[in-house]
Amino acid sequence: MDNESEKWARVLWDYLCLRQPLEKSDVIIGLGCHDVRVAERSAVLFLEGWAPWLLFTGYLGNQTAGQKDVLLLHFSGPFRKTN
């Protein structure tokens, strides 16, 4: 990435990043993305108990189609943590 693009990416990131502390919630929503780290982070937050529900949006994209680990995340409804 060139310096100009990186500068504007930083401006956008700083605008979108709220820098708020985590707090317990009703649901964790993992927004569909080509970066599987989004799903991984959502799953970690769920397993740590930040919310009893985990919902992913979207489906397989160009970057994730054919990845076995991503297929494991595909489901027909939200996950609910049970004790």
Name, in order, each residue with C-beta under 8 angstroms of 74's C-beta and a sequence gap of 6 or more.
59, 60
As a whole number of angstroms, the distance between CA 6 and CA 15 comes to 14
pTM confidence score: 0.62
What integer is the mean pLDDT of 32-47?
A: 85
Structural contact between residues 60 and 70, judged by C-beta atoms closer than 8 angstroms: yes
Beta strand 79-80 pairing with 28-30? unpaired
What integer is the mean pLDDT of 54-72?
A: 64
Q: What is the pLDDT of residue 25?
A: 93
